[in-house]
Amino acid sequence: MSTLLIYGATGYTGRMAASRAKALGLNFEIAGRNHSGLATLAAHLDVPFRVFDTAADAQGSLSGISVLLNVAGPFAHTAEALMRACIKAGVDYLDITAEINVYRLAERLGADAAVHRVMLLPGVGWDVVPTDSLAVHVAKRVEKPRALSIALQVPGSMSRGSAMSVSEIIGAGVLARVDGELVATPDATPRQFDFGEGPVLCAPLSFGDLVTGWHSTGIPNIAMFVHIAGDAFPGGDLSQLPDGPTPEERDAHRARAVVEVTGADGAIARSMIETVNGYSYTPLAAVEAARRVLTGERQPGFATPSRVFGGGFAESIAGTEITDF
């Protein structure tokens, strides 16, 4: 029987993902570096666990595993070792990162992964599943799409892991895709987008969609923006932040993204996707993606959610709606 391994299962999102996998009756194990935390969670879920550090013999720790779901961020610290281990071990790799450099890494490793019949599928969480599906949807609404703009709305408070990952994203600099190539755009200016309550200013920022949007739609010019509301982006010592929003806080803030596509004739189409809170959406989408891969929905090499599961994948998660403008 095919087996899923959730790496980073004792973290904020990891615990939700493991609980979801248990609720779906998947054949899975949990893993990470924290022996005591893993032992406690494994006993609660009645599943096996493995303890290993990605810097050690990760390949040797993947015996008997078919699919790895990496939820241990910042992914700049875990993704490369796990991707390379998965390629050598013949294990499909999934993660939930938004860090653009992880997508660029997966893209570079894609040819080697394809040779080994292994899939590298980063971004099976809130970013990039909803935006990837939405980009495919909106691209169909214009003739010969040439430019794609994606804007994310980040409501409520961030988890400690997300704040650390955003630090990695900011460190990558502001990038855009221009005529098919990723280029630095340090002079990029903010833009206004309407998430349903009037236009708000969104700052340019480099998320993984700059890679996935290109592969999923073929649109050669892509820019990304984010609107951070209230106290969503914390400062100070990020390690002192709480694990993440409480269930009540998550329920109070739904997540939204807007995609705008411009055709060769200048025609513009816009749509918005709205989901449950991103922290609630991510474990649902990630475990559903893993379940589908376990059943054979896969594409060796570097892959995107919409190319593997179809453009409607985001809407398969309950509470997701697309509105066309």
Say if residue 62 is in the same domain as residue 169. no
Say if residue 103 is in the same domain as residue 162. no
Strand 321-324, strand 301-302: pairing: unpaired
How is residue 27 written in tokens? 């054949």
Radius of gyration in angstroms for the set of CA atoms belonging to the chain, rounded to a whole number = 19
CATH of the domain at 304: 3.40.50.720
Q: Are 191 and 97 in contact (CB under 8 A)?
A: no
Look up the domain containing 186 and give its range: 128-278+314-324
Say if residue 145 is in the same domain as residue 250. yes
Q: How high is the pLDDT of residue 239?
A: 65
> Taking Cα atoms as reference points, which of 83, 68, 75, 74 lies closest to residue 3?
68
Say if residue 252 is in the same domain as residue 295. no
Say if residue 139 is in the same domain as residue 212. yes
Q: How high is the pLDDT of residue 244?
A: 82
> Taking Cα atoms as reference points, which of 226, 222, 208 lies closest to residue 261?
222
Say if residue 87 is in the same domain as residue 211. no
pTM more than 0.75: yes
Q: How high is the pLDDT of residue 153?
A: 92
When divided into structural domains, the chain yields a total of: 2
Alpha helices by DSSP H, the chain: 12-23, 35-45, 79-89, 100-115, 129-139, 160-171, 209-217, 247-251, 278-294, 305-309
Say if residue 210 is in the same domain as residue 291. no
Close Cβ partners of 71 (under 8 Å, ≥ 6 residues apart): 6, 7, 8, 9, 11, 13, 14, 17, 95, 96, 286
Q: How far is CA 88 from CA 119, 172, 203, 284, 313, in A?
A: 12, 28, 39, 28, 29
Q: How high is the pLDDT of residue 148?
A: 98
Say if residue 149 is in the same domain as residue 197. yes
Q: How high is the pLDDT of residue 240?
A: 60
CATH of the domain at 136: 3.30.360.10
Say if residue 320 is in the same domain as residue 304. no
Q: How high is the pLDDT of residue 284?
A: 98
Say if residue 43 is in the same domain as residue 181. no
Say if residue 200 is in the same domain as residue 249. yes
How is residue 18 written in tokens? 């493991």
Taking only the tens of pLDDT, the chain with its 325 residues reads 799 999 999 999 999 999 999 999 999 999 999 999 999 999 999 999 999 998 777 888 999 999 999 999 889 999 999 999 999 999 999 999 999 999 999 999 999 999 999 999 999 999 899 999 999 999 999 999 999 999 999 877 776 667 666 767 777 789 999 999 999 999 999 999 999 999 999 999 999 999 999 999 999 999 999 997 655 555 566 566 667 888 898 899 899 999 999 999 999 999 999 999 999 999 999 999 999 999 999 999 999 999 999 999 999 999 999 999 9
Q: How high is the pLDDT of residue 245?
A: 86
Say if residue 105 is in the same domain as residue 150. no
